[in-house]
Amino acid sequence: MGLLIHWIALVFAFNNATVQLLVPLYALHLGYSGLIIGILAALPSIANVTLRLTFGRLSDYHGETKILRIGGLFYLAAAIGLLLSTSLGVGALVGAQLLQGVGRAVFWTVGQTYVTKLPLMRGQHLSLFNGASNLGMLLGMSGAGVFAGALGYRGAFLVVIGLVLLYLTLISSLRSLTSPTDPGAGVRPAARALSLDFNLGPLWLAAACSFVTGGTMALAASFFPVYLSRLRYDDQAIGLLVMVLAAGMLGASFVSRAVVGASAHLERLAALCIVGTGLGFAIVPALRSWPPLAVMFLASGFCAGGCNLIYQLLVQRHSAWNARGTAMASVGLFGNVALLVLPTTIGVALKWVSLERALVAAGLFMIILGSAVALGFRSVTPPIASPVLDPHVIYRRRPLH
């Protein structure tokens, strides 16, 4: 039962990363300005910010598999919209980006929630899920440039539709989770949403990590390709260089067990990962040739991958089973805010400053955030007992509703 969600994560991340890189490359191909590219990259986050908490609550009430299937249909509509944009123009592209946001809101909230409920100890499924997601992102970012160069943008968007159909096929086979029956497992009602989760310090730490993870994705899908294009790299080279960022995130998955084992020091690890990510982004604009760029992207991706794992692990440990979807959505909103704010802010800032200075400012902001984390989170609140981590919990053989 547990392994299928990891294959689904691989396919979804492959498709999502392909789209994220194709859209700014396609916008550059059409001659759009930096501001328009930033807005296009940020559009999915409008739907994310608006709907993520809703889908988290729905998954708490109706089960993860039903909501994942609904989200897949939105993502299929988005893929068709991308193809239509090659003939209908920017209107179809805007609609496709908004629909993508709905599909992403569903998968990254509900899929992560599903994984944290799988009954294996010490975060093994989180390790596999993040590894599959990062591998899919790596393949998608490298494949996007190849697809665009070999097939043209219309052909590349046809590939995207094929990947979405594969994703829907896998989702249809995903089994519903069983719910815990142990009354001492820390289960609480899911209906009390926003104030329920954020009175715990560790979830604010998780939110900071989520913001940095989202910021990394935002820059990878917007102004890093623009910066590399200004250095006269072609589409395939841009795809390969940005792919190194995903390779760094994949590398972080291999040390996930060490992160789980160092749970008493997660706040220190979080601060180091946030500062490391920001430092890498601040240095990138000073680089021109591909070897140092690749090294810096690799290091930044590794730190961002650590942030990604830490925020999911904290949600798993500091939220109850019946409120897991709401907690994951609440924390994930901060990543979506980064996806929305960073591209649009940089796009607007380009009227007054160079792209290099805007990227440095984004990196410095992450460094300040990491420093605030180090100063503000001296201790971690003891976690609520979670049925996922308790080997004595008995599971019923019926879906969670």
Nearest to 50 by CA among 323, 332, 314: 332
CA dihedral 301, 304, 309, 314 (to 10 degrees): 170
Residues forming a β-bridge with 186? none
pLDDT number for residue 256: 63
pLDDT number for residue 277: 93
What 3-state DSSP class applies to 287?
Answer: coil
pLDDT number for residue 167: 93
pLDDT number for residue 15: 92
CA dihedral 30, 141, 72, 9 (to 10 degrees): -170
Q: What's the whole-number mean pLDDT along residues 212-220?
A: 86
366: domain CATH number? 1.20.1250.20
Decide if 181 is inside a domain: no
pLDDT number for residue 196: 41
Decide if 396 is inside a domain: no
Q: What is the pLDDT of residues 51-85, one digit of tens each?
A: 888 888 888 888 888 899 998 999 999 999 988 88
The confidence band for 17, taking pLDDT boundaries of 50, 70 and 90, is: confident
Nearest to 204 by CA among 310, 362, 284: 310
More confident residue, 9 or 188: 9
More confident residue, 259 or 207: 207
pLDDT number for residue 180: 57
Check whether 161 has a pLDDT greater than 60. yes
Residues forming a β-bridge with 399? 178
Q: Give the chain's mean pLDDT.
A: 79
Q: What's the whole-number mean pLDDT along residues 25-41?
A: 80
Cα atoms found within 13 Å of the Cα of residue 293, Cβ hemisphere only: 19
Check whether 364 has a pLDDT greater than 50. yes
* Contact present, 278 and 367 (Cβ < 8 Å): yes
* Contact present, 309 and 210 (Cβ < 8 Å): no
Number of domains the chain contains: 1
Q: What's the whole-number mean pLDDT along residues 205-210?
A: 86
The CA distance from 391 to 374, in Å, is: 33
* CB count in 10 Å sphere of residue 168: 18
The confidence band for 170, taking pLDDT boundaries of 50, 70 and 90, is: very high
The CA distance from 12 to 122, in Å, is: 25
More confident residue, 143 or 78: 78
Q: What's the whole-number mean pLDDT along residues 88-112?
A: 86
CA dihedral 349, 354, 358, 363 (to 10 degrees): 180
The CA distance from 60 to 56, in Å, is: 6
Check whether 45 has a pLDDT greater than 50. yes
Decide if 389 is inside a domain: no
pLDDT number for residue 197: 41
* Contact present, 326 and 195 (Cβ < 8 Å): no
Decide if 180 is inside a domain: no
The confidence band for 169, taking pLDDT boundaries of 50, 70 and 90, is: very high
* CB count in 10 Å sphere of residue 169: 12
pLDDT number for residue 160: 92
The CA distance from 105 to 96, in Å, is: 14
Decide if 278 is inside a domain: yes
Q: What's the whole-number mean pLDDT along residues 210-219?
A: 87
The CA distance from 215 to 363, in Å, is: 10
Check whether 362 has a pLDDT greater than 80. yes
Q: What is the pLDDT of residues 222-265, one digit of tens each?
A: 788 888 888 888 877 887 888 888 788 888 877 765 665 555 56
Which has the minimum average pLDDT: 141-150, 318-327, 380-389? 380-389
pLDDT number for residue 190: 41
Q: What is the pLDDT of residues 344-353, one digit of tens each?
A: 888 888 889 9
The CA distance from 192 to 132, in Å, is: 32
Decide if 122 is inside a domain: yes
Check whether 377 has a pLDDT greater than 80. no
Decide if 55 is inside a domain: yes
More confident residue, 366 or 222: 366
Decide if 166 is inside a domain: yes
Owning domain of residue 238: 2-175+191-382
pLDDT number for residue 389: 40
The sign one gets for the Cα dihedral 316, 319, 323, 326 is negative
